[in-house]
Chains A and B, each alone.
Chain A
Amino acid sequence: MTTSGIKQRQRWMGVLARASGEAIATRLEAVGPLPAHERLRGPETGLVMVRGRAGGDGAPFNLGEMTVTRCAVRLGDGVVGHAYVAGRDARQAELAAVADALLQGARRDAVMAAVVEPLAAAQRAADEAEARKAAATRVNFFTMAAMR
């Protein structure tokens, strides 16, 4: 896979990981009947250690553990899709893995247009609404150095 291919896959995997299972299911229905898939692994829930670093030159430390559900599926044509999502939503993980497999196959453009782009737009809109709400409460501090 080329670097741009990896970038694109990272993007759609990120979008799918942030979307709810309901939302992915609704969008996937629009694509048409889903191909049969078999589970290679999971969906199973476990913990991953999130590591942090204080500043650019700080020593890495363990921030804490995070609940993650992962799933790997294989479509009939042998394409394997993976998903790692935060939380315990097994359905989301499985659907995200199916979508990941579809996005690597011939129906990529259709799935991209029907599933990933609308979900990404909804997530962007939600982020912007949140940012606007936060911005409305912004307080500017300044020093009145010029006043005598």
Chain B
Amino acid sequence: MSGLLPGFADPVLDAQACFRAVLDAMSRPGRVVRLGEGLRPPAPLSAAAAAVLLTLADADTPLWMEAGEDAAAWVRFHCGAPLVAEAAHASFVVASGGAPSLMALEAGSDEEPQRGATLILEVSALVEGEGWRLSGPGIAHEHRLSVAGLPAGFAAAWAANRARFPRGVDVILCSGARLAALPRTVAIAEGEARSVNRDGDNNAIAEGEARSVNRDGSSRAIAEGEARSVNRDGDNNAIAEG
């Protein structure tokens, strides 16, 4: 054992930021969010999956994972989540390519659909603007997401999972510090880039998103500006006192 690794630097604020990111990802299915940057989880866990566990898993959420002893010790220490031997009894399942079947996981009941498990799936890449056509609640028309490194037959298993709504399993896809969510309501259609026009449209959408990111950046700049003005007040006070 290489010794435990640290979790969040600031447990409260980092967990709040991650919760917000996961909430955004869940409410806009297929949208890629970034989280867990700066986190150093034990080897097989990605930063995003580790951040999700630190944020959501605790002593009340049985966890199933196949990431090895170091990761298990890390999760036990930082989350206190009980590790279970059967994926069917877990609230959170962390898996990569050899994931258990969606239909084998806890799906909740018609009275208590919130008991359905969440599958945290490690994938090799998440790219927006190509691949799957996603539609459903939270998506205005359609959203495109390409996922590399999924278990075989995932799309078919997803159709079966979606058919049993309100029961079902929610999936969180993690790749490095990037994360996208597939709540059980989302419909996945296999889409291939056929016409050049559509590609052009997709690029436009991607640019729009880039602009919105910039907008966030500028709002942060405004916040900093306010902080500076507070400082200036402080200076004034100092002068007045002088």
Residues of A within 8 A of B (CB): 38-41, 44, 72, 74, 78-80
Contacts and interface: CB of A to CB of B under 8 A. Distances in A.
A29 B63 CA distance: 43
B160 interface: no
Contact of A39 (B2, B6, B77): B6
A78 B6 contact: no
B78 interface: yes
A79 B2 CA distance: 9
B2 A40 contact: no
B148 interface: no
Contacts of B11: 44
Interface of B: 2-7, 11, 77-78
Contact of B3 (A39, A41, A78): A78
Contact of A80 (B4, B7, B78): B4
A78 B2 contact: yes
Contacts of A72: 4, 77
B26 to A, nearest CB: 28
A78 B11 CA distance: 21
22 contacts: A38-B6, A39-B6, A40-B4, A40-B5, A40-B6, A40-B7, A40-B77, A41-B6, A41-B7, A41-B78, A44-B11, A72-B4, A72-B77, A74-B3, A74-B4, A74-B5, A74-B6, A78-B2, A78-B3, A79-B3, A80-B3, A80-B4
A41 B74 CA distance: 12
A70 to B, nearest CB: 12
Given A72-B4, A78-B3, 6 more contacts: A39-B6, A40-B4, A40-B5, A40-B7, A74-B5, A80-B4
